[in-house]
Amino acid sequence: MEINMEEKGVLLGLAEVKAPFKNLTYEEKERIVHICYRKLLSIDNGEVNNALEKNLKCIGVVDFFYALQEVVISIREGNCCLYRKSEIILKNKLSNVVIALPALDYPSRLIVVSQTQNFGRTLLVLQLTSKEIVHLLVTSLESEISKNFRRNSINQKSTGAIRRGADSFGKSVGKRVNDLFSSFGTINQIPEENESKNQTTDWYSASDSDDDDDSSDMDRDDSSDTSTQVKSVSVSNLCEARSVFHKNSIGPLEAEIQYLIQSETAFIESLKRLVEYKRTLLKNSNVIKIKHSHKMMKFTDELLSIHKDLLKKIKASNMNIIKLTNTFKEFSEKFRYHVHYISNIPAADRIYNIYSDVFKQTNPNLGEDLRKPRMRLNHYILTFESLMKASDGNERESIQKIINMFKEYLKEADTRLVTDSVRFCPFSLTDYGYLIMNGELSLKKGNGLQRRRYQVLLLERMLALARGTSISSEYVKGFLLKDITLVHELRGVLIHLEVKITQNNSGLLIFKAASVKLQQKWIENLKNRITIIAKEAEGRQLRALEENLRNLEVKEKEKLTQEKRKREMPPLTAEMAFDPQFFNTKSEDINGENFVNTEDLQKSEGLLINSIENILSHNSIDNDNIITDVKQLYEFHLRYFHPALTYEKSKFDFQIIISIVKHKPTFIALNEVMLFHAAVVKYEVGEGSSLYSLINIYVDNFFKYKTYLLKVTERDAGIGPKTMQVIFERIIKNLNNLLKQRYVENLSSFAVNSVIIEGFLSVKELLEDIENSMYVILTYLNTYLLSYNKACYTISTVFNNELAKLGSTTGINSFQIKFSMPGQQKRKFCFTFQDVDAKSKWLKNFGKVLPQENQHWRRVAYRKSICEADLLYPYDFSDKSRSRSLSPAPPSEPRYNKPIYQSYFESNL
């Protein structure tokens, strides 16, 4: 039966239970729980059992943070929860409750021992309103406890024979506890143990923790008191200096600067003593090893030189705070030697302790002189903070920058001091940010890690584990904070962390701190760093998204600019003049949504005939050539296409296709000329004229006929499957040739008729380091680079393919071509394409025409003798007069589709 109840009460205390509970009977557990209860609340009955206090450790860490506050205990859906207002204090499953019973002396008090995420095994003492409510809660909890106890009793029966046969040393825990109880009689008072000391991190110290089985603290690092000594000495000296200078009637700002000069002078004297003593030790190497002398007083020479120069600059500032701050900014990088000196503290202390007897006899003040460089950064912070209080508002910003600089150096020194003590680390721990917190924690549960004490280092982006002491340890494992999630923030001594191992797998780390205060400090620092890293990750994602959007916008603008510029330029192909989808000549490229039927053709044909009749009747066209071509188109449609629209579909297909095939030359000539007129009118005349409207109607009609004829089944009409495709390809090719002849200057008819591939490319000549967008035409003989100039294209460069060869691939979307002319300098061009597919297409076509290395000289010699085609022009084609006068005559060799190489290569050489 499911239990649901909720009661109010007053919390008296929480504690970690360390008394043994394993393999105990219920009566034995009751007796131990009462001992823990009496010890938690320090109940004194007037009698003391010192032997019992010595031999039985009942409770560990105690937490009275919520003591004497009203709380609510709730039992619902198999969980037991204790909370205050909206704040959860304890939460665990009912199956984790070990024992629940009322207090003997106060029946209205409830004592519960359960496994929680706060302390592990936790003791809870709760004051309720009446003993009836306590009895009801105990009954509710015991129903679940009895189930667990019955399950455990089965296991106890199986192990009873083994325990009965054990010797006296191997007695059961329950028997030993009963013997202990019977030896000393009644339990009256158990005095309170000393609480575990809270450990906090300092500049040069690490925190320790307590283990379950041993409450004794480990030896602490002697350097933990360093920062305290630094601050206390610095503050006292500073206050003393202020009082002296104020008595001499000097202003507060001047007094601080005078004290800075005085302390700097004293610091330089101590450095001089260290350097002199170091030289003495190096001369007398029988006293101390040379390497130890260098190691103990490392960086003292550098510090002496730096601070001598610094003192001169401070004195030269003449009590001017702006000049003083500028001086410290100038020495900002040199102050890093203090960081190096501080990171050497453990080694220097070790050597000093080894030869302490020698140093006490030869140099009693050596320890004090070695300590002063450690305190110097703290001293500067305190001095400049005092300067800020004594200065005006205009100067505080520059002073604050100096304070922040020294604080950053202190953080770096603290990090170096701790991370340098970790050995065998495969990477640099300082790469993961400054040290936030460090200390010793006990690992209770880890993914493949031993349950033991670890030195835990919390860096800005990593949580690192090491084995050893705070002075010397060995690296074990590190976890990136971006992969760590804090499971809960409940007060106690346990820290639960969920670590992401793989994309779909995670593990649990459970650490135990020495006190509740230390646990809360760890949780607070972990939570802050995890939150900061999550925000940084979100910020990076947003910045990447914004960058992608900006790049897309830039690309769209560039694309629109290029398209607009191309629309403003003369068309050289059908795709440039019209919509590219009008001129797909393969039936598989035609979109099914664009398929037309006979009704669409009938409407389009009628509209075209009416439009032509209207224009011819009103004499709206001034160009005689266009009028002649329009009349011929009109007669062709009236004779062959218009009557067929009244036939059935099968007869219509046959009539149209037969008419085109029979009169193929006329059909091709009429449509290529009319499309040419359409492209010219669209570019040169533009919208607003009657001719432009007729052009649009004709282009739409041509597109519908092409779409329909490419999609019908040509075999049913007795025509080859590729006949229509070949006819329309010929129309488009002839149209492209007519457009090039009109808009490209000095391009030979042979080149026009032998185009393999063409298009706009980004072309860069490597020697001149100039990149331009050019129209490139690849023919079987030459490659032409065209530039746009005043409503037409001019040939900028043309090179013979026989004198060229492919160069290196400079990028994923680009490649180079090298070509040369006898007696001239070699030239290199880099072609850049929109995507990889376009590059592959061009590269494939270049491979068809460029010669192979072993046939290069033969082809050149042969071409010189039989070909009059263009060679590499050494002049600029932008000059019209020169280009016309030097333009070669049209070639007289056969058309490109004849095998002109065959007779040469098959002849007997």
DSSP string, 96-118: GEEEEEE-SS-TTEEEEEEEETT
For each of the domains in the chain, give its residue range(s) and CATH number, in order of start.
5-149 (2.30.29.30), 251-419 (1.20.900.10), 423-539 (2.30.29.30), 619-683+690-744 (no CATH), 755-863 (2.30.29.30)
Kindly give, in sequence order, each residue whose CB lies less than 8 Å from that of residue 364, ignoring residues fewer than 6 positions away: none
Q: Please state the rounded mean pLDDT for residues 311-315.
A: 93
Distance (Å, whole) CA 29 – CA 785: 96
Kindly give, in sequence order, each residue whose CB lies less than 8 Å from that of residue 277, ignoring residues fewer than 6 positions away: 297, 363, 366
Sign of the Cα torsion 14, 19, 25, 31 reads negative
- Going along 551-627, which residue ranges are E strands? none
Whether residue 403 has pLDDT greater than 50: yes
Beta strands 69-76 and 5-17 are antiparallel
What are the tens digits of pLDDT across the range 868-897? 333 333 323 333 333 333 233 333 333 333
> Residue 620 in 3-state DSSP?
coil
Q: What are phi and psi of 872, to 5 degrees?
A: -65, 120
Residue 6's pLDDT band (cuts 50, 70, 90): confident
Residue 634's pLDDT band (cuts 50, 70, 90): confident
What are the tens digits of pLDDT across the range 666-692? 888 888 888 888 888 888 877 666 677
What are the tens digits of pLDDT across the range 718-731? 566 577 888 888 88
- pLDDT score of 53: 46
Which of 415-420's residues contact partners 24+ apart within 8 Å by CB, and which partners? Answer: 415/459, 416/339, 416/342, 416/343, 417/203, 417/204, 417/223, 417/342, 417/343, 417/345, 417/346, 418/206, 418/457, 418/470, 419/457, 420/343, 420/346
Structure tokens at 547: 């960058």
Higher model confidence: residue 685 or residue 473?
A: 473
- pLDDT score of 878: 36
> Residue 841 in 3-state DSSP?
helix
- pLDDT score of 807: 74
pTM as predicted: 0.55
Residue 865's pLDDT band (cuts 50, 70, 90): very low
Cβ(314)–Cβ(324) below 8 Å: yes
Question: How many CB atoms are located within 10 Å of the residue 817 CB?
Answer: 19
Average pLDDT over the chain, rounded to whole? Answer: 75
Q: What is the CA radius of gyration of the chain?
A: 47
Whether residue 222 has pLDDT greater than 60: no
What are the tens digits of pLDDT across the range 234-248? 444 445 544 444 445
- pLDDT score of 497: 93
- pLDDT score of 438: 93
- pLDDT score of 803: 79
Cβ(208)–Cβ(514) below 8 Å: yes
